[in-house]
Structure formats: structure tokens, C-alpha cells
Amino acid sequence: MDQLKLSDLMKKGRDSFQKNDLKTASLYFAEIIDTEPTSTEAYFYMANIFHLRGEIGKAIKSFQKVLELDPQHTDASISLSVLYNDIGRYEDAKEIFEKANNNVKTNSQNGGVIEPHINKKFSLKHFELAEMYASYNRHDEALFEYNKAIALDPDHLEIRIKIAKVYSKKGFNSKSQEELKKLKTEHPGYHPARIALGLLYFGAGHVVEAQAEWQNVLTREPNNQEAIMYLNLSRGANETQVSM
């Protein structure tokens, strides 16, 4: 099969994948693999299709094939790491993730360009690790991973809420307030920051300040159910029992 035909099949496969027509996409990519068994892109798409179908074993084998053909394929490394993590193969997940991370650092130091979507995938991985640490009350490790995650993906504002919550759990309420105040100033339309700050105020007994934050949310978004709920609770509560 000539390169023009392969290019046409790849385009059709990508288009079908983007339209979520996985059955048709898989046929195109399978045909490419039959003709060009070293096509990392076709194997990568097939791996993602298997993953979306819940065929985890096939997805893992396909991602492994991508890495066999191209050990520097960062997307495949991260995807395989996530899969291993999901099925409890934590050591394998960690090993692959660290290799991918080192590859990215090396490329960056050598003048290579790191695409934003790669950073977002690394950010997600650090976020997952932070969530795991937080669930076991390992606050310092959680903060370390959350900060890595936000550095890689500054637009993932939920991470900053999580950081503030960890500070609060460590007893650093002033640091938690500082983080949330900065967040709401930088992103005035991001309501979760004001809701979380209101909860922090309320937990410290500053009811008026808490109500002001929730009322501000309702001024901007009158049907915000969280703000309505906390405002009603604060008006009827005799003691501070609401927490972040």
C-alpha cells in the first residue's frame, strides 16, 4: 500500500475516532497495522479505543507495542501508567511514569518543545497521587503533589482549592485563607473559591464574613445550590458545624 493510501486511512481513522465512531475507526487503524506494522500512531489509537471499550488487557498490550516501537512516546507511557494504576499495578505504574517524566525533562533541557497536553497529562497524574496521599491524611506528600500538578496545569483551579483544604487540615488556617483569597481575586468568576473561603470563615466562627462570600456567589449565580444551602445553614445554625 502506498503512502498516499496510508495517509488517507489515517485521516479517516482520526476523523472516526473524533466522532466517537470507535468501530469504524478501529477498522481503519487495523488495516493500517496490517500493512504497516510499525505505525506507532495506529497502535496508539487502537490502544485508546480498547481502553474506551473497557478492554484493558488489549489496551495495555497496544500501549506496550507503541513503546516497543518508540520508547520515547510520552503519551503512551503516561496512558499505560494510568492503566496500571487503575488495576492496582502501582509499582509498574510508578516505574513507567518516572521514565516518561525523565524523558520529558531531558527533552526540555536539550531544547525540545513540550506540548501543553503533555503537561496536562503529567499534572493529572500528580493530582491522582495527591488525592491518594490526602485520603490517607499524608498532608505533606499531598501538598507536594498538588503543587506539582498546579505548576504543570495552572488552569486546573480545583487543585488550588485542594491545596487550601490541606493547609486547613494541617491547622494552617491563615495560609488556607491566603490561598483562597488569592484565587478569588485572580478568578472572580470561579465560585468554588468563594464557597470554600466561606466555609473556612464559618468554621472559624466568622459567620458574617462567611455569609458575605456565599451571598456574593448568589449575586453572580442566583441558582448556585451550594451557596444557597450553606447560607441557609449559617442562618439557622447555633454553632459552627459546617466544615470544608
81 vs 109, more confident: 81
pLDDT tens profile 10-38:
999 999 998 989 999 999 999 999 999 99
Residue 112 has pLDDT above 50, yes or no: no
Q: What is residue 239's predicted lDDT score, i.e. its pLDDT?
A: 47
216 vs 85, more confident: 216
pTM (two decimals) = 0.59
Q: How many CB atoms lie within 10 A of CB 151?
A: 13
Among 18, 46, 15, 53, residue whose Cα is nearest residue 31: 46
Spell out the long-range contacts of 148-156 with Cβ–Cβ below 8 A and sequence spacing 24 or more: 148/123, 149/123, 149/124, 150/123, 151/123, 152/119, 152/120, 152/122, 152/123, 152/126, 153/119, 153/120, 153/123, 153/124, 156/120, 156/123, 156/127
107 vs 192, more confident: 192
What CA–CA distance (Å, rounded) separates 129 from 9? 38
Average pLDDT over residues 139-149: 90
Please give the grid coordinates belonging to residue 188.
472572580
pLDDT tens profile 42-92:
999 999 999 889 899 999 999 999 999 998 888 888 889 888 888 888 888
Task: Say if residues 205 and 214 touch (Cβ distance below 8 Å).
Answer: no
Among 130, 138, 136, residue whose Cα is nearest residue 161: 130
Q: What is residue 211's predicted lDDT score, i.e. its pLDDT?
A: 95
DSSP helix/strand/coil, 190: coil
Q: What is residue 113's predicted lDDT score, i.e. its pLDDT?
A: 45
Q: What is residue 208's predicted lDDT score, i.e. its pLDDT?
A: 94
CA distances (Å), origin 237, targets 22, 97, 201, 233: 53, 48, 14, 6
Average pLDDT over residues 96-113: 65
Among 22, 24, 114, residue whose Cα is nearest residue 75: 114
Q: What is residue 145's predicted lDDT score, i.e. its pLDDT?
A: 85
CA distances (Å), origin 144, targets 117, 173, 200: 21, 18, 22
Q: What is residue 150's predicted lDDT score, i.e. its pLDDT?
A: 93
Half-sphere exposure of 122 (CA within 13 A, CB side): 24
Q: What is residue 96's predicted lDDT score, i.e. its pLDDT?
A: 86
172 DSSP 8-state letter: -
Residue 114 has pLDDT above 90, yes or no: no
Average pLDDT over residues 112-120: 62
Q: What is residue 1's predicted lDDT score, i.e. its pLDDT?
A: 55
49 vs 100, more confident: 49
State the residue for C-alpha cell 525523565.
Answer: 102
Average pLDDT over residues 90-114: 69
pLDDT tens profile 157-208:
999 999 999 999 999 999 999 999 999 999 999 999 999 999 999 999 999 9
